[in-house]
């Protein structure tokens, strides 16, 4: 059939020489970027500098794909820190496998919608296989299930909404306000969820160890009684990588009625390693868990796996009802939109599925174990050095340490110099009012020599 010339209204969508060239440009850049072995760390630029270099990019008639891509490659992308760089050691890095990154292009190219079984059964089937594998790793029953959502914040919110709905169904509303009990070291997203839900948070001190225990939680449960609808345990805190004593908290369920949610956004992937698995005893008794594949499971942004022990509890809390949705909600098929606070949904679990299916679980266990071993090794190096203090022995892959005599300003100046020199991205942190810094080690390409070189800059 002869291809008709594109009309003004369909120029952007029709397959034409223009769109063929555009797609070739993008795929060529993507291939070079994915397979690059020397991608720079890069650094942010001030807005005035970006304005000078990039200028006004949006106009009535466009600047053309070649110019737009050149601006991205040479101006905009270098103003974004490369989060999967081996020397990106701040916050919680990402380190997607090449398979996962490449397949992320396939997901977009395939126009897959991941909200319902009706529209995306193949994608949902693949995602559910990954969720089932994770649930089995965490010791949850074979009937457990859930959904991939945007990130840990939405995962925690969705789980807690389901927890409150379950409590309300079981015992009605309390005389006062609903309460979530968690550690004072819990991730900020728990408090954020509480604000959105208009409920209270009772933050329990975990003590010097940083590990929340059942003994510490019990007084809060006794004080607030039936107002407590959920207890949140942390499976690897962001700042230290600390795992709460989940088993002792779960044991309280025999005396009190509450939903146990485990926020394992960063650390729960540690269960894949025999070096850390025992630290997570009790996870198998959780009512819900989250883990972010875009952190320690080597998927691209953004993906959080939310898993319910009883998926029906999630479905009851989150299914949206409208006349145009009846064709979806009146069936028993598994629609991911029913299990979290969302409706429209990208099939964000597919890049992780492709990498896991391609490489196998053993490769993931090896990579996670390597991070833990490297954290242990560099912690020993820090303890060996005069003038350095290890703040706490690492449980997982976060190493927190101090340089004797350094102030917050010293850490900030040092951090800025490292980034300016393109040596590393290591930001200042603090604990109990004392400034420090930390290595968050997730990338399998990070080496001991990388870390020693960074420590040497503090001498």
- 6 in a domain, yes or no? no
Q: Are residues 209 and 348 in the same domain?
A: yes
Closest CA to 101 of 298, 359, 238: 298
Per-residue model confidence as pLDDT tens digits over 227-264: 999 999 999 999 999 999 999 999 999 999 999 999 99
Q: Among 203-217, 267-281, 312-326, whose mean pLDDT is lowest?
A: 312-326
Q: Are residues 375 and 335 in the same domain?
A: no
Residue 431's pLDDT band (boundaries 50, 70, 90)? very high
The alpha carbon of residue 193 and the mean position of all alpha carbons in its chain are separated, in whole angstroms, by 16
Q: Evaluate whether 120 touches 347 at the Cβ level (below 8 Å).
A: yes
Residue 332's pLDDT band (boundaries 50, 70, 90)? confident
Rounded to an integer, what distance in angstroms lies between the CA atom of residue 424 and that of residue 414? 11
Rounded to an integer, what distance in angstroms lies between the CA atom of residue 452 and that of residue 446? 11
Paired sense of beta strands 398-403 and 434-440, if any: antiparallel
DSSP structure string for 2-20: PPPPPPTTTTTTS--HHHH
- Cis previous bond, 302, omega within 30: yes
Residue 321's pLDDT band (boundaries 50, 70, 90)? confident
The mean pLDDT value for 449-457 works out to 98
Q: Are residues 145 and 284 in the same domain?
A: yes
Q: Evaluate whether 420 touches 389 at the Cβ level (below 8 Å).
A: no
Q: Evaluate whether 391 touches 431 at the Cβ level (below 8 Å).
A: yes
Residue 23's pLDDT band (boundaries 50, 70, 90)? very high
Q: Are residues 181 and 221 in the same domain?
A: yes
The CATH code of the domain that includes 153 is: 3.40.640.10
Give the chain's radius of gyration (CA, Å).
24
Last residue of a domain, one of 335, 359, 383: 359
DSSP structure string for 160-218: HHHHHHHHHHHH---SS--EEEEETTS-HHHHHHHHHHT-EEEEEP--TT----HHHHH
Please give the structure tokens belonging to residue 135: 């649930």
Q: Are residues 122 and 91 in the same domain?
A: no
- 25 in a domain, yes or no? no
DSSP structure string for 33-56: HHT-S---------HHHHHHHH--
> Given this model, what pLDDT does residue 8 score?
86
The dihedral built from the CA positions of residue 274, 278, 284 and 290, taken in this order, carries a sign that is: negative
Please give the structure tokens belonging to residue 390: 């290890």
Residue 323's pLDDT band (boundaries 50, 70, 90)? low
Q: With H, G, I as helix, E, B as strand and everything else as coil, classify residue 294.
A: helix
- 23 in a domain, yes or no? no
Q: With H, G, I as helix, E, B as strand and everything else as coil, classify residue 266.
A: coil
- 5 in a domain, yes or no? no
> Given this model, what pLDDT does residue 327 score?
65
Q: Is residue 439's pLDDT more than 70?
A: yes
Rounded to an integer, what distance in angstroms lies between the CA atom of residue 21 and that of residue 93? 34
- 196 in a domain, yes or no? yes
Residue 282's pLDDT band (boundaries 50, 70, 90)? very high
Q: Are residues 125 and 260 in the same domain?
A: yes
- 421 in a domain, yes or no? yes
Q: Is residue 388's pLDDT more than 70?
A: yes
Q: Are residues 57 and 130 in the same domain?
A: no
What value does the mean pLDDT of the chain take? 96
- 386 in a domain, yes or no? yes
Q: Which domain holds residue 35?
A: 31-97
Q: Are residues 190 and 328 in the same domain?
A: yes
Which residues, other chains included, contact 102 with Cβ-Cβ below 8 Å and sequence gap of 6+?
34
Share above pLDDT 90 across residues of the chain, in percent, rounded to a whole number: 95
- Which CA distances in Å does 157 have to 196, 200, 202, 320? 8, 14, 16, 16
Q: Evaluate whether 311 touches 305 at the Cβ level (below 8 Å).
A: no
- 228 in a domain, yes or no? yes
> Given this model, what pLDDT does residue 326 score?
65
Q: Are residues 378 and 243 in the same domain?
A: no
Q: Are residues 305 and 434 in the same domain?
A: no
Q: Euclidean distance between the first and final Cα of the chain, in Å?
A: 71
> Given this model, what pLDDT does residue 328 score?
65
For the CA atoms of 98, 100, 104, 110, what is the dihedral angle to 10 degrees?
110
Q: Is residue 270's pLDDT more than 70?
A: yes
Residue 391: CB atoms within 10 Å: 19
The CATH code of the domain that includes 419 is: 3.90.1150.10
Q: Evaluate whether 369 touches 275 at the Cβ level (below 8 Å).
A: yes
Q: Are residues 174 and 212 in the same domain?
A: yes
Rounded to an integer, what distance in angstroms lies between the CA atom of residue 187 and that of residue 207? 16
Q: Are residues 268 and 287 in the same domain?
A: yes
> Given this model, what pLDDT does residue 331 score?
76
Give φ, ψ of 64 to 5 degrees: 90, 150
Residue 2's pLDDT band (boundaries 50, 70, 90)? low
Give ∠ CA 223-254-179 in degrees, rounded to 5.
Answer: 35
Last residue of a domain, one of 97, 127, 143: 97
Last residue of a domain, one of 359, 377, 397: 359
Domain count, the chain: 3
Q: E strands within 264-397?
A: 288-291, 304-308, 388-392
Per-residue model confidence as pLDDT tens digits over 49-106: 999 999 999 999 999 999 999 999 999 999 999 999 999 999 999 999 999 999 999 9
């Amino acid at each position: 059939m002869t291809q008709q010339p594109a009309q003004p209204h369909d120029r952007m969508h029709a397959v034409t020489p223009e769109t063929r060239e555009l797609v070739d440009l993008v795929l060529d850049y993507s291939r070079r970027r994915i397979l690059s072995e020397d991608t720079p760390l890069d650094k942010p630029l001030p807005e005035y500098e970006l304005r000078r270099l990039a200028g006004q990019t949006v106009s009535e008639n466009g600047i053309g794909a070649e110019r737009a891509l050149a601006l991205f490659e040479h101006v905009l992308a270098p103003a974004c820190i490369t989060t999967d760089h081996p020397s990106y050691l701040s916050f919680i890095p990402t380190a997607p496998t090449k398979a996962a990154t490449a397949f992320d292009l396939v997901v977009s190219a395939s126009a897959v919608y991941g909200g319902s079984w009706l529209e995306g059964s193949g994608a949902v089937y693949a995602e559910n296989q990954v969720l089932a594998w994770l649930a089995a790793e965490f010791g949850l029953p074979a009937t457990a299930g859930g959904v991939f959502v945007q990130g840990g914040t939405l995962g925690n919110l969705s789980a807690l909404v389901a927890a409150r709905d379950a409590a309300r169904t079981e015992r009605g509303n309390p005389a006062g306000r609903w309460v979530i009990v968690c550690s004072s070291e819990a991730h900020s997203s728990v408090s954020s969820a509480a604000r959105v839900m208009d409920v209270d948070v009772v933050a329990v001190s975990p003590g010097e160890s940083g590990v929340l225990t059942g003994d510490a939680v019990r007084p809060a449960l006794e004080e607030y009684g039936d107002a407590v609808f959920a207890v949140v345990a942390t499976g690897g805190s962001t700042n230290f990588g600390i795992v709460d004593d989940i088993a002792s908290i779960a044991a309280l369920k025999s005396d009190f009625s509450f939903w146990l949610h485990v926020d394992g956004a960063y650390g729960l992937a540690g269960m894949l390693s025999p070096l850390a698995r025992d630290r997570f005893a009790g996870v198998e008794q959780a009512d819900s868990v989250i883990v972010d594949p875009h952190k320690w499971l080597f998927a691209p942004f953004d993906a959080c796996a939310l898993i319910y022990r009883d998926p029906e509890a999630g479905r009851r809390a989150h299914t949206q009802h409208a006349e145009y949705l009846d064709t979806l909600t009146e069936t028993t098929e598994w629609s991911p939109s029913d299990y979290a606070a969302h409706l429209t949904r990208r099939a964000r679990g597919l890049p992780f599925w492709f990498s896991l299916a391609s490489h196998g679980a053993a490769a993931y266990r090896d990579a996670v174990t390597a991070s833990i071993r490297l954290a242990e090794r560099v912690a020993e190096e820090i303890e060996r050095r005069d003038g350095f203090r290890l703040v706490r022995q690492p449980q997982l892959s976060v190493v927190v340490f101090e340089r004797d005599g350094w102030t917050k300003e010293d850490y900030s100046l040092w951090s800025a110099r490292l980034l300016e020199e393109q040596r590393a991205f290591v930001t200042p942190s603090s604990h109990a009012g004392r400034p420090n810094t930390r290595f968050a080690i997730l990338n399998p390409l990070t080496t001991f020599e990388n870390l020693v070189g960074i420590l040497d800059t503090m001498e």
